[in-house]
Chain A
Amino acid sequence: MDWRDVAARLFPGGHHVVADGDLIAGTARCGDATVAVIGSTGHAEAGVEIALAMARLVLATMREHPGRPILFLVDTSGQRLRHRDELLGLNRYMAHLAKCVEVARARGHRIVALVYDQALSGGFLASGMMADLCAALPDAEIRVMGLPAMARVTRQPEERLRALAASSPVFAPGAINYVRMGAIDALWDGDLAQRLAAALRDAPNEDTRRALGLARGGRMLAAPVAARAAVE
């Protein structure tokens, strides 16, 4: 999916969003509000540079435009698997981005994310999964790993995983399973501009993913176990 087509549907009145390599950045209007757009394209490998660049954009939004909503456009093939990135501490660069998003939230910035293409594994933790509300396009690919790889790692027959995946969202890749488990609020189709406006208005400030997963029947234990750990 080309990010420009997505941006055109999100912002039918036009926008000032551009791509610079794998990084997407700019601003656009949604109703009466200006939105900061931060994202990646080309199934970006999430390495130290792009994590730092995205953090810089979140920081600049906080400094220069207090309260301005932020939209993450997610397309990542996961964390960059290189010796150099590990040497430099890629986990800390990712954590920095996550912390910037948290501070923005605490300072009143609404944070919405849209997975418009791929969201694989660790590349997604510090951006989309930190948002107040994360949505996905119906064809978006969201997963930890494919079933053949999971079969190898877990030493389970692939047919068995496939059968389990048919009945449980836990094992199967795909955005719809993340909806059932509460990590994706909804699949967006039709009028994306209207969807975004509603999300910017209604996104919760608290982490409601466990409650959603329970209500939707896709993740039955996270909510009650966390609640017991919180009070018992």
Chain B
Amino acid sequence: MRSYYEATARERLAAIVDPGSLREILPPPTRTRSPHLQALDLPTAFDDGVITGSATLAGQPVLVAAQEGGFMGGAVGEVHGAKITGLLERAVATRVAGVILLLETGGVRLQEANAGLIAVSEIIRGICATRAAGIPVVAAIGGQYGCFGGMGIAAACCSTIVMSEEGRLGLSGPEVIETAQGVDEFDSRDRALVWRTVGGKHRYLIGDAQVLVDDRLDAFRDALAAAVRAGDRLDLAAVEREHALLARRLHDYGACKDGEDVWRAMGIEAPHEVPMLPTDVLVAAVRSRRAA
């Protein structure tokens, strides 16, 4: 089965939802383009870089959105964001089993500045409202551009995050931090450092990604289907649990300087070997440790 990382947004969707079940919402023939990119004489896309639709996933009715990293790094503009926000409202209105977000994005599309920031805010509020209505919103992160900026916040508002080792998730990207604070703060060209900080394995070990899968389309599909089946509701008990977890994390790992320090503090015996471990070995080790 092919690589999720290498696939386009359309290829990912085609491989993840049940064959023949995808009905695209606002497909390219509707020419739903960004007016702001046109004003800057920049290339536009007829789907504005995000595919939205309804489908079934392992038989469950779902709504799906897939961001195309190949178009402006998956960045969110007014139209792109409105497609996702409208999809989330549709989810509440039609009571689907879940919403699947295949996220690959640098966050706000800076060419749309204010409109992009507001659009990201509307997505964040839409995800929270959908979950508060009892409908799970499940995110997949495993593409070349990762998931950053305000969309990193949006991802962490979801019920479940499924990641591969190749995925990256954060708020400010390494390049942004290096530009603002200097190379001593964060060397964005040090790939190993970047992966120890924002990569899929670190996010899984620390608990930000609930599921870590191999970089295979079928592995993502199975994990997303299971996460929808698990159901979800955002309520006071859920945020109370989250608060306890994040307070504990700050207490336990707040002084750590590196991903390896965090993993050591967690009790992982050979933290320097983590980057080399196959996904299934790492997942098995974490499961047995959590069970104990």
Cβ-defined contact, B171 with A229, below 8 A: no
Cβ-defined contact, A225 with B26, below 8 A: yes
What residue of chain B has the Cβ atom nearest to residue A153's Cβ?
Answer: B110
A182 within 8 A of B: yes
Tell me the smallest distance from the CB of A61 to a CB of chain B, in Å. 11
Tell me the smallest distance from the CB of B86 to a CB of chain A, in Å. 3
- Check A86/B32 contact, CB under 8 A, given A122-B149, A222-B82: no
How far is it, in angstroms, between the C-alpha of A103 and the C-alpha of B129 when the chains are bound? 9
Cβ-defined contact, B82 with A100, below 8 A: no
Cβ-defined contact, A102 with B234, below 8 A: yes
Which chain A residues lie closer than 8 Å to B126 at the CB level? 207
A interface, how many residues as a size bin? 35 or more
B111 within 8 A of A: yes
Total B residues in contact with A, Cβ cutoff 8 Å: 85
What residue of chain B has the Cβ atom nearest to residue A223's Cβ?
Answer: B82
- Check A210/B112 contact, CB under 8 A, given A83-B197, A90-B171, A222-B122: no
B85 within 8 A of A: yes
B273 within 8 A of A: no
Cβ-defined contact, B171 with A88, below 8 A: no
Cβ-defined contact, A79 with B254, below 8 A: no
Interface 1/0 per residue, B33-51 and A, CB below 8 Å? 0011001100000000000
Tell me the smallest distance from the CB of A180 to a CB of chain B, in Å. 9
Q: How many A-B residue pairs have CB under 8 A?
A: 254
Which chain B residues lie closer than 8 Å to A100 at the CB level? 239, 243
How far is it, in angstroms, between the C-alpha of A124 and the C-alpha of B125 when the chains are bound? 13
- Check A89/B153 contact, CB under 8 A, given A98-B128, A107-B236, A144-B116: no
Interface 1/0 per residue, A111-137 and B, CB below 8 Å? 000000000011011100110000000
Cβ-defined contact, A98 with B153, below 8 A: yes
How far is it, in angstroms, between the C-alpha of A79 and the C-alpha of B249 when the chains are bound? 19
What residue of chain A has the Cβ atom nearest to residue B157's Cβ?
Answer: A95
Which chain B residues lie closer than 8 Å to A172 at the CB level? 114
8 additional contacts (CB under 8 A) given A169-B114, A207-B129, A210-B82: A59-B239, A79-B172, A95-B156, A96-B243, A98-B125, A125-B153, A154-B110, A222-B115
Contacts from A to B (Cβ < 8 Å):
48-49, 52, 55-56, 59, 62-63, 79, 81-96, 98-103, 106-107, 121-122, 124-126, 129-130, 143-145, 150, 153-154, 156, 160, 164, 168-173, 177-178, 181-183, 207, 209-210, 213, 219-223, 225-232
| 19 pairs, CB–CB < 8 Å, chain A vs chain B | A56-B247, A83-B186, A87-B197, A89-B156, A91-B170, A98-B125, A99-B157, A99-B242, A102-B125, A102-B234, A106-B235, A122-B153, A122-B172, A124-B117, A130-B124, A170-B114, A213-B118, A221-B79, A222-B115
